[in-house]
């Protein structure tokens, strides 16, 4: 396994739309393992392949306190969203140190493939629903800060560019 480099907003590669995975094979399973290791190390609760500059529809997440309940979503699609909306404070590994409120569907039903290539459906609510929608946005080339006002988004962009210029 290997730690992958997480792209930082406003990197234009974060806006690439991910393509469906043609076949869940050893290459995809290695990507899943590397993404999981990267997410845990960051530390975060979700990571989309787009964030590590792989433009295929792969998401990993783990919302457990014990960090031992990895969920994998390959070629995820939202089958249904509730009309009820909920506002959550979101953060993102690609926008470190930035948190803001985003409104999303309170509940979703998702169909995807797991790391074995087996199809499954899941009904998600609360944080899981938020996380799924957040990570699926990455696969569509969208970062959560794009839900914010242009003024907030511009401030975040300036902050991230300033951090980028600072020596490590």
Q: Can you tell me the distance from the alpha carbon of 84 to that of 69, in angstroms, rounded to the nearest whole number?
A: 27
Asked whether residue 134 is marked as a ligand-binding residue, the answer is yes
Enumerate residues 6+ apart whose C-beta is below 8 A from 152.
100, 145
Asked whether residue 138 is marked as a ligand-binding residue, the answer is yes
45 with 131: CB under 8 angstroms?
A: yes
Asked whether residue 15 is marked as a ligand-binding residue, the answer is no
60 with 112: CB under 8 angstroms?
A: no
Residue length of the chain: 168
- Catalytic hit among 23, 89, 135, 146: 135
In a 13 Å sphere around the CA of 122, the CA atoms on its Cβ side amount to 15
Closest residue by Cα to residue 48 from 146, 141, 126: 141
Active-site annotation holds for 135 = yes
Catalytic residues: 135
């Amino acid at each position: 396994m290997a730690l992958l480099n997480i792209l930082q907003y406003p990197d234009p590669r974060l806006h690439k739309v991910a393509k469906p995975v043609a076949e869940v094979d050893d290459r995809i399973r290695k990507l899943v393992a590397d993404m999981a290791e990267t997410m845990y190390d960051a530390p975060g609760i979700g990571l989309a392949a787009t964030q590590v500059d792989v433009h295929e529809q792969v998401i990993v997440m783990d919302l457990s306190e014990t960090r031992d309940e990895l969920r994998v979503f390959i070629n995820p699609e939202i089958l249904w969203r509730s009309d009820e909306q909920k506002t959550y404070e979101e953060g993102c590994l690609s926008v470190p140190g930035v948190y803001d409120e985003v409104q999303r569907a309170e509940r979703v039903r998702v169909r995807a493939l797991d790391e074995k290539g087996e199809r499954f459906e899941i009904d998600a609510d609360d944080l899981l629903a938020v996380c799924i929608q957040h990570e699926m946005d990455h696969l569509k080339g969208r970062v959560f800060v794009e839900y914010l006002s242009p003024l907030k988004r511009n401030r975040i962009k300036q902050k991230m560019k300033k951090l980028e210029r600072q020596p490590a």
